[in-house]
Structure 1
Amino acid sequence: MEGQVIIQKVLNNNVIIAEHPTYEEVVLIGKGIGFGCKKGDHFSLDKADKTFLLSNQQEKEQYVNLLPHIDETFIDFMNDILIHIEKRMGQELNEHIHVALTDHLAFAINRAQKNMQFSNPFLNEIESLYPKEYQIASEVVTMVYDEMGIQFPEGEVGFIALHIHSAVTEKSLSEIHQHNHLITKLVTLVEETFEMTIDKKSVNYHRLVQHLHRAIDRVYQEESIGKEDKLVEMLKHEYPVCYNLSWKLIKVMQKQLNKPVDESEAVYLTIHLQRLTHKS
């Protein structure tokens, strides 16, 4: 994005809302760029460290209302965090992360300063499903500690990872939370059926969770992984408990997602379940 814009509003010394000839409203972020500026001034885009659109009116209002409650140095620091995430992920982030993650981290810092601890029930699933996002979220937590001396609880890494995943997949946080909740429910059903506690750090647990995640994606994309009739008969005969459980899991998925699940999923679920029980 290049060229000149006209300043509409100076939110603080580090953030300007401006009118762009092509993209209409844009938000400019950079250290001290708002100092001495006023509405109607022409401003060169190359002076900003970061330029992004806020086409969603609700997000724009949320961002504008949020900024007065946040220290200006934190906005500058958030810019460093978002540049780090974008560089490490190797792709552009959906612009809603500017609002969502700024909001989240501001409140997380506030909670940490008041010694309020929040657990994250999906932490193991998040680490298993989104390892790259989880690693980068850990780096963000380290950045916050190095910059502000604030130590986040471990669960915070998971929450930040979800924001990163949302920003690179275009999925909403509510959709991601719904899928993670479903996966946790399915894993719990497996543990209850087999009367076992699955080692959440094991390779077989990781494979099962990854498979469930991909199965949910296939449901939404209406993909089939192909019929394996001979394999079905063999699995039904050799591993009846695992095969029956795989169908229980499919029925739970169908009910929660309110969509049909391809019956061929039972084959691969049975294999993952057998690995788990065999390993145990």
Structure 2
Amino acid sequence: MVIKQVINNNIAISVDSQGDEVILIGKGLAFNKKKGDEIDHQKVEKRFYLEDQGLYTKFKKLLREVSIEEINISDDIISLARRRLKKELNESIYISLPDHISLAVTRAKDGLNVKNGLLWEIKKLYKEEYLIAQEAIQLINEKFNVELGDDEAGFIAFHFVNAQLNSGINTVTKITQFIKEILSIITYQLNTAVDEDSLPGFRFLTHLKFFANRIFSQETNENSEDPFLYEIVKERYSQAFTIAQSVKQHIRNQYSYEVSDMEVTYLTIHIQRLLDRKN
């Protein structure tokens, strides 16, 4: 195979014998290489095929933002989950999981801990996914020399759950309408459309999907507040915080659901990422 496109020193895109694009990953695989050069097959550690072209495009963007180590460990964890759960996982997990792991490792190295408002529910309702996630956390901690704990295991378990999610059409319709309404509020307040193809946009949509699931199942996270983090984002990200408050008011009026301060914190952080991209 020859190189079609170089992503970085460790990642390149090629075309297989069937004419399908494949992403190849390996240490130094594309070092000093250019389009048309032969690939050293001994350096190929991972091969990625994604059927969904929209996800494939996002995946290529993600490869420029996360490390080869984060991609590799994510792939190992996804393979572990497939074997244990004996279920197919949506291809979107190849974007959402490495993206989450990269952010979690960065937060841990910066000394920032984020509490999981649904940890108790995840442990209770998704026991198998949580056990696999605990193994995943051990792998991540050993690889990156960090100390991620139960809260992060809960987040990773939810990625497994989301990748399996096959909701009934009624729930899907509700979630779709909910996301449409929230995006409309954000678009109006930011005076620009949310770029759903960008990584911040994709992250925000993923968060809204999780959030909508909690609302329509009437789950709450009232016992996991973090007043200190809430006050920090309120002060640092005042514009994003104001928009998050508008979203909270809409949900209260439209769905009779009281959004917790922790959820406002998460919304504010995601909205701030959208603002950062706009600016």
Q: What TM-score do the two structures reach when normalised by structure 1?
A: 0.54
Q: Does 1:73 align with 2:69?
A: yes
Inter-CA distance 38–86: structure 2 relative to 1 (3 Å threshold): farther
Displacement of 1:153: 4.0
Inter-CA distance 33–169: structure 2 relative to 1 (3 Å threshold): farther
SS at match of 1:125: helix
CA–CA separation in structure 1 for the residues paired with 2:63 and 2:74: 12
Q: Report which of the two structures shows the higher radius of gyration computed on alpha carbons.
A: 1
CA–CA separation in structure 2 for the residues paired with 1:186 and 1:101: 24
Q: Deviations over 1:229-253 (max 9, x none)?
A: xxxxxxxxxxxxxxxxxxxxxxxxx
What is residue 276 of structure 2 aligned with on the other side? Answer: none
Q: Is contact 2:122-2:157 (8 Å) kept?
A: yes
Q: Is contact 1:94-1:170 (8 Å) kept?
A: no
Counterpart among 32, 36, 50 of residue 54 in structure 1: 50
Displacement of 1:122: 1.4
Q: Does 1:178 align with 2:212?
A: yes
Counterpart among 3, 13, 22 of residue 7 in structure 1: 3
CA–CA separation in structure 2 for the residues paired with 1:126 and 1:41: 48
Q: Is contact 1:14-1:76 (8 Å) kept?
A: no
The farther-off stretch of 142-151 and 62-71 is 62-71
CA–CA separation in structure 1 for the residues paired with 2:137 and 2:46: 21
CA–CA separation in structure 2 for the residues paired with 1:162 and 1:182: 16
Q: Does 1:101 align with 2:97?
A: yes
Inter-CA distance 24–34: structure 2 relative to 1 (3 Å threshold): same
CA–CA separation in structure 2 for the residues paired with 1:21 and 1:154: 44
Inter-CA distance 166–186: structure 2 relative to 1 (3 Å threshold): closer
Q: Is contact 1:122-1:184 (8 Å) kept?
A: no
Q: Deviations over 1:103-128 (max 9, x none)?
A: 11101111111122212211122222
What is residue 145 of structure 2 aligned with on the other side? Answer: 149
Gaps in structure 1 of 5+ consecutive residues:
189-196, 198-254, 257-280
Give the length in aligned residue pairs: 187
CA–CA separation in structure 2 for the residues paired with 1:187 and 1:155: 13
What is residue 190 of structure 2 aligned with on the other side? Answer: none
Q: Is contact 1:125-1:184 (8 Å) kept?
A: no
Q: What TM-score do the two structures reach when normalised by structure 2?
A: 0.54
Q: Deviations over 1:126-145 (max 9, x none)?
A: 22221111111111111111
CA–CA separation in structure 1 for the residues paired with 2:8 and 2:166: 29
Q: Does 1:86 align with 2:82?
A: yes
SS at match of 1:150: coil
What is residue 130 of structure 2 aligned with on the other side? Answer: 134
Determine what percentage of the aligned residue pairs are the same residue. Answer: 31
What is the aligned-residue RMSD (CA, Å)?
Answer: 3.5
CA–CA separation in structure 2 for the residues paired with 1:25 and 1:154: 38
What is residue 268 of structure 2 aligned with on the other side? Answer: none
CA–CA separation in structure 1 for the residues paired with 2:164 and 2:83: 12
Q: Deviations over 1:22-76 (max 9, x none)?
A: 4733323344443465423465989744433334454334333333333333333
Inter-CA distance 185–72: structure 2 relative to 1 (3 Å threshold): closer
CA–CA separation in structure 1 for the residues paired with 2:162 and 2:96: 10
Output the amino acid matched with 1:163.
H
CA–CA separation in structure 2 for the residues paired with 1:57 and 1:157: 30
CA–CA separation in structure 1 for the residues paired with 2:87 and 2:40: 25
Displacement of 1:102: 0.8
CA–CA separation in structure 1 for the residues paired with 2:43 and 2:25: 9
Displacement of 1:183: 2.8
- The runs of at least 4 consecutive aligned structure 1 residues that moved more than 6 Å come to 44-47
- Describe how 1:246-257 pairs up with structure 2 within 5 A: none
Q: Does 1:115 align with 2:111?
A: yes
